Amino acid sequence: MEDKEKKNVVSAGDNLTDYMETVIADLEKEGKFPAAHVYRSVLRSFTRFWNASAPMRNDPTSMSNVLAPIQDVFTPERLKEYETWLTECECSPNTISTYMRTLQAVYNRWMPPGMVDYNPVLFKELYTKVESRTKRALTAGQMRQLETTEFCALSLPQQRVLACFMLMFMLRGMPFIDLAHLRKQNLQGRRIVYRRHKTGKLMVVDVPPDAFRLLQKYRNRAESEYLFPILNEASPGEERYHLYQDTLRRFNRELARLMKKLLPGVSVSSYTARHTWATLAYHSGTPLGLISQSLGHSSIRVTMSYLKPFDAEVIDKVNRQVIALVKGSKKKKVDSVNMLYGTLLR
């Protein structure tokens, strides 16, 4: 039996807390700290649900900190109860989806597909969609306004924040986490060659002239491995992840303050640059598969979740074009008929 199979042998004595703590430890060893953070959040949430619902299960040991037997967790009834509890706690649909998909990943690890007791439709009736319900993109006009901003009128910290935002947009919607972790060795001539922090996918991005000028002006001049002065040197591991989280929060705060000045009333975060690139590419008629490849997404489904809020806008635009086509056709027909009588009605 392979090591992976040994690790996933189902034990009747397993409980969710001990099992997920083992999974979290494995993720941290692999340096997957964002994923470990999500798993820990799900475990805390499910533990609160389990203890809150213990009296309804007539559990005599329901006072507090009751460990959930894993075989009792992964049942359609229990998972549906948890989903309902999350809804009652006013969790957003995307939060519910994230928690359910995380539990699904735990289930597939604990009970791998192909095992006798594996239930392939266990999560079928649960909310696991990946979709965006809000618009997080700027218009082409707004991006033009940012592009033509007089940098010299801004403070140096504000210049750096705006430069990072514009670079993320011009480098094919590069996520902030990838920009922050770029090494000087990733810049190879006029190309940036790197692996996505989230998926490990190899990315080769040509640096357009405007982006190259920004890069050269605001790149890291210190003796540091990083291409940009965003992250400080830190020991690898969880410490680096926490330092990155602090840096991201500061960047978003500074970006929000800057945008109040440049785009009053518009909500902008570090992720806006990525969504804006995807949306403008979509509106320009770029095939969905090419957008997905450009962003380094793992699947077109993820790309569709970016663009779904804009489907109605595209359809409305097509509708206006169709109506305009009919009006144009009607005008030509009327003109031609009247010309038969030697007159042209206006």
Predicted confidence at residue 13, as pLDDT, reads 53
Predicted confidence at residue 237, as pLDDT, reads 67
- CA trace torsion 117, 121, 127, 129 (10° rounding): 110
Residue 103 shares a structural domain with residue 155: no
Could you tell me if residue 153 is inside a domain?
yes
Residue 146 shares a structural domain with residue 286: yes
| Host domain of residue 236 | 140-298
What is the distance between the alpha carbons of residues 99 and 79, in angstroms, rounded to a whole number?
11
Predicted confidence at residue 169, as pLDDT, reads 97
Predicted confidence at residue 182, as pLDDT, reads 96
Could you tell me if residue 310 is inside a domain?
no
Confidence class for position 218, pLDDT limits 50, 70, 90: very high
Q: What is the mean pLDDT of the chain?
A: 85
Max mean pLDDT range (154-163, 241-250, 297-306): 154-163
Predicted confidence at residue 200, as pLDDT, reads 86
Predicted confidence at residue 30, as pLDDT, reads 86
Tell me what the mean pLDDT of segment 196-211 comes to. 92
Q: Which of 110, 131, 149 is the last residue of a domain?
A: 110
Residue 164 shares a structural domain with residue 23: no
Tokens of 238: 């969880």
Predicted confidence at residue 344, as pLDDT, reads 45
Predicted confidence at residue 8, as pLDDT, reads 47
Residue 269 shares a structural domain with residue 165: yes
Could you tell me if residue 240 is inside a domain?
yes
Predicted confidence at residue 131, as pLDDT, reads 60
Tell me what the mean pLDDT of segment 284-308 comes to. 84
Residue 163 shares a structural domain with residue 205: yes
What is the distance between the alpha carbons of residues 141 and 121, in angstroms, rounded to a whole number?
46
Q: Is a pLDDT exceeding 70 seen at residue 4?
A: no
Residue 45 shares a structural domain with residue 181: no
Could you tell me if residue 247 is inside a domain?
yes
What total number of domains does the chain contain?
A: 2
Residue 106 shares a structural domain with residue 224: no
Tell me what the mean pLDDT of segment 169-191 comes to. 96
Could you tell me if residue 47 is inside a domain?
yes
Q: Is a pLDDT exceeding 80 seen at residue 312?
A: no
Crossing angle between the packed helical segments 140-147 and 272-283, to the nearest 10 degrees? 130
Residue 185 shares a structural domain with residue 223: yes
Residue 102 shares a structural domain with residue 248: no
Predicted confidence at residue 241, as pLDDT, reads 81
The proportion of the chain whose per-residue pLDDT surpasses 70, expressed as a percent, equals 82
Q: Which of 62, 91, 110 is the last residue of a domain?
A: 110
Stretch among 107-111, 139-143, 176-180, 299-303 having the lowest mean pLDDT: 299-303
Residue 91 shares a structural domain with residue 167: no
Predicted confidence at residue 342, as pLDDT, reads 45
Confidence class for position 6, pLDDT limits 50, 70, 90: very low
Cβ neighbours, 10 Å, residue 24: 20
Could you tell me if residue 245 is inside a domain?
yes
Could you tell me if residue 181 is inside a domain?
yes
Residue 53 shares a structural domain with residue 185: no
Could you tell me if residue 330 is inside a domain?
no
Radius of gyration of the chain (CA): 26
The CATH number covering residue 218 comes to 1.10.443.10
Residue 160 shares a structural domain with residue 208: yes
**Do you know the residue count of the chain?**
346
